[in-house]
Amino acid sequence: MKLMRCIGLPLLVLLTVLILFPTSSVAEGFPSHETKSSREITLTILGRVVNTQGIPIEKAKIRVLLDRKEQPIHHNDAITAFVLSRSDGVYIAKVHISQEALEEATFVVEISKPGFQKIQSVDIRDLLTGSGEAFYAQLPEITLPRVNNQALVLATGIFILVIGIISFNLMHETTAAFIGAAAMLGTSYILGSHNPNYWILSFQEAITYIDFDVIFLIMSMMIIVSILGRTGAFQWLALSAYRSARGSAWRLAVILMVITAFLSAFLNNVTIMLLMAPITIEIALILGITPVALIIPEVLASNIGGIATLIGDPPNTIIASYAGVSFMEFLRHMGPMAIIAMIALIIVIYMVYSPDYLKVSKSPGESLLTRLEEDAQITDPLTLRRTLIIIAIMMVMFFTCEYFLMPPSVVAMIAATALLVWIRPSIEEMMGEVDWTTLFFFMSLFIMIGGLQEVGLIQRIAETIAGFAGSNLLLATITVIWVSALASAFINNIPFTAAVLPIVTYLMITLPGEGNFVLLWALSLGANFGGNATYIGSAPNVVSIGVLDRAGYRVTFGGWLRVGIPVTIITLLIPTLWIVLRYFYLHF
C-alpha cells in the first residue's frame, strides 16, 4: 500500500497538470501549433506551365520561395520541398505560413525542368485574394523555353548512330535500337543524376512513351497470321494463282501482286511476305524465270496495299494509335490511294520486267510442280474454317469498333484470344511464332523517340518546319509527303515515322484550317511509298531480300533502284496532284 501511495501521488499531480495546462509542451522538440504568436495561413498557388509551342509541360518542378528562401509546400497532406505539374501543365502548390510572413514577405514561384530554362515569377503578393486563414493566387501561364545542353547533343548523337547502324545493316535492328534505348537511360542515371544537363529521361518516363496499342496490335496479328499460315492457306493461294495464270508469267505477276496487296491491307505485310516469298520462288523455278521478277513486284504491292488500313503497315499502326484515328477513317482516306497506286505499279512492273516474263519455260519441270502441289495442300480444313470465321468477325469489329470507342489493339486481342481458345494450339509454339525481336525493336524505338522529345529535338525540328511553311497548309503537306518519302528511302520507315509523327502533330495544331488532318495522310503516303525506293526502306523489303539471298538470288542496291525509283515517283505524284487539285477546289 505504501508503494501504491508513493507511485499514485506523482501520477495524480501529473494528470492534474496535463488537464489544467493542455497547451504546454510535454517534451522539447514537440511544440504545439497553438503556441504560435500568430495563426497559420494557408496560401494556395495555382498556375500552368507550357513550352514555346503552347504544349503543356508535365512533371515540371514547382517551388515557392519566401524571401528567396525555400519553404515547405503542403501537398496532398504531405510535406515536400516541391510539387510537379500535371499532364495538362497545371500545378497547385499549398504553403502554410504565419500571418506576419503573409503580410511582410516576398513570394516567388520557381519553375524548372531538365532541358528547360529555369523561370522565377515576380512577387505574387499583388495576385493574392482571400481572407481569414485561406488566401489564393492565380498566376498567369508561364512559358519555359528550351536550352541547348549536353543531353540534347548526346540524345541526338545516339539516335543518329542507331539509325545509321540500321540503315547500313551493320547490326540487327533490334540490337541497335536496344543499345540506343539503354544508352539514353544509362546516360540519364550515370551522368544526369549528378548534373541535370546530362539528364535525358527516366525509366518511368520511358515506359510511358511505349505505345502498347501498337505492341499488342502487332503481337495479336502475328498470332492470327501464324495460325492461318499453319493450315497451308497461303501456299494454296499461290498455287491457285499459278493455275489461274495458265502459263503466263505476266498474268501470274499481276495476280500475285493483287493477292499480296489485298492480304497486306488486312494482315501484317511483313508476315505476309515471309509466307508468300518461299512459295513464289518455287513457282518462278517452275516457270523458268528469275524469282526476282515476281518477288520484288510482290513486296512493292505489299507496301502499297498495306497503306490502305491502319493494320496493314507498321507506320500506319503507329500513326493511327498516336492520333486516335479509327479503322474506317483510315480506310476511307487511304483505300482509294492504294487502289490508284496499285494500277500505277502494275504498269511500271510491266515496263521493267516484261523481258523476264517472256522467258517463261514452255515445259515446266514436273518434279517441281509435283512438290508445289504437295506443299499447297490444306492440311487442317477445320482450323482454316474456324480461323476464317474469327478473321471475318474481327474485320466486322474493325469497321464498327469506333462506335464502342474500342482501340484496334483490343479488337485484335479479342480475335487472337478467341482463336487460342477455340483451336487450342500449343501456347508454347504460338509464343514461339510471335516475332519478339520486332516487338522489342518497337519498344526500344519508342523509348529513343521519347528521349528525343524530352531533350527538345522534336520541338526544334517542328518549329523549323513550321517557320518554313508559315501558314500555308498546302506547302506543309507537300513538304511532309516528299521529305518523308526521301528520308524513308534511306532510313527504315518505322523509326522515321515514329520520330516525325510528333512534328506533324505540332503542325496540325499550329497551321490554320480544319483540313490540316491531311498532314497525317501525307506522312503515311510519304513514309510507305518512299519505302519502296530502296530495299532498306521498309521491313517487308528487308525480309524479302533476305529470302531471295538465302535462295541464291542476290539483289543489288542498284538493281532494286531500277524498279523502286520509278514506282516511288509515280505513286507519290498521284497523291500530290490530288492534294493540289483539292486545295485549289476548296480555296478558289
- Phi and psi at 393, nearest 5°, equal -65, -40
205-237 tens-digit pLDDT? 899 888 888 889 888 988 888 888 888 887 788
* H/E run at residue 434: none
Task: Say yes or no: 133 and 90 in one domain.
Answer: yes
For residues 529 and 267, give the distance between their C-alpha atoms in angstroms, rounded to a whole number.
18
Q: What is the CATH number of the domain that holds 127?
A: 2.60.130.10
Strands 134-138 and 142-143: unpaired
CB 446 within 8 A of CB 219: no
Residue in the block written with cell 501558314: 471
* H/E run at residue 22: none
In this prediction, residue 196 has a pLDDT band, given cuts at 50, 70 and 90, of: confident
Which of 119, 143, 167 finishes a domain? 143
SS3 assignment for 383-409: HHHHHHHHHHHHHHHHHHHHHHCCCHH
Task: Return the minimum-mean-pLDDT range out of 58-62, 135-139, 242-246, 388-392.
Answer: 242-246
* Residue 80 covered by a domain: yes
Query: What local confidence, expressed as pLDDT, does residue 25 receive?
Result: 38
Beta bridge partners of 79: 74
Task: Say yes or no: 121 and 196 in one domain.
Answer: no
Grid cell listed for 451: 528521349
Task: Say yes or no: 52 and 133 in one domain.
Answer: yes
Task: Say yes or no: 42 and 93 in one domain.
Answer: yes
Which residue in 199, 181, 211 sits closest to 454, CA to CA? 199
Which residue in 564, 574, 529, 565 sits closest to 297, CA to CA? 564
pLDDT at position 361 over 70: no
* Residue 187 covered by a domain: yes
Determine the average pLDDT of the residues in 409-414: 91
Residue 340 half-sphere exposure toward CB, CA atoms < 13 A: 16
Task: Say yes or no: 138 and 161 in one domain.
Answer: no
Residue in the block written with cell 489564393: 136
Which residue in 426, 428, 423, 433 sits closest to 383, CA to CA? 423
For residues 473 and 572, give the distance between their C-alpha atoms in angstroms, rounded to a whole number.
18
For residue 98, give Cα distances in angstroms to 46, 66, 248, 277.
20, 12, 92, 77
In this prediction, residue 75 has a pLDDT band, given cuts at 50, 70 and 90, of: very low
* Residue 508 covered by a domain: no
Per-chain mean pLDDT for the chain:
81
For residues 399 and 392, give the distance between their C-alpha atoms in angstroms, rounded to a whole number.
11
Highest mean pLDDT among 14-18, 94-98, 297-301: 297-301
pLDDT at position 35 over 60: no
List Cβ neighbours of 226 (8 Å cut-off, separation of 6 or more). 271, 430, 433, 434
Query: Where in the sequence is the domain holding 219, given as residue range(s)?
Result: 148-231+417-449
For residues 237 and 231, give the distance between their C-alpha atoms in angstroms, rounded to a whole number.
12
List Cβ neighbours of 402 (8 Å cut-off, separation of 6 or more). 326, 327, 328, 329
Which of 90, 111, 143 finishes a domain? 143
* Residue 268 covered by a domain: no
* Residue 129 covered by a domain: yes
Task: Say yes or no: 113 and 56 in one domain.
Answer: yes
- Please report the beta strands in 55-159, taking only residues with DSSP state E, as ranges in sequence order: 61-66, 69-70, 73-75, 78-80, 83-84, 90-98, 107-112, 119-120, 128-131, 134-138, 142-143
In this prediction, residue 464 has a pLDDT band, given cuts at 50, 70 and 90, of: confident
* Residue 135 covered by a domain: yes
* Residue 98 covered by a domain: yes
Task: Say yes or no: 139 and 44 in one domain.
Answer: yes
Which of 89, 116, 143 finishes a domain? 143
Query: What local confidence, expressed as pLDDT, does residue 68 receive?
Result: 55
pTM, whole model, 2 decimals?
0.73
Task: Say yes or no: 87 and 117 in one domain.
Answer: yes
Task: Say yes or no: 133 and 155 in one domain.
Answer: no
Residue 224 CA from chain centroid, whole number = 22
For residue 47, give Cα distances in angstroms to 18, 119, 124.
46, 13, 12
More confident residue, 136 or 570: 570
Task: Say yes or no: 76 and 174 in one domain.
Answer: no
Task: Say yes or no: 160 and 131 in one domain.
Answer: no
* Residue 247 covered by a domain: no
Task: Say yes or no: 158 and 176 in one domain.
Answer: yes
Concatenate the DSSP letters of all residues of 285-307 into one string. Answer: HHHTS-THHHHHHHHHHHHHHHT
Number of domains present in the structure of the chain: 2
161-179 tens-digit pLDDT? 988 887 777 888 789 889 9
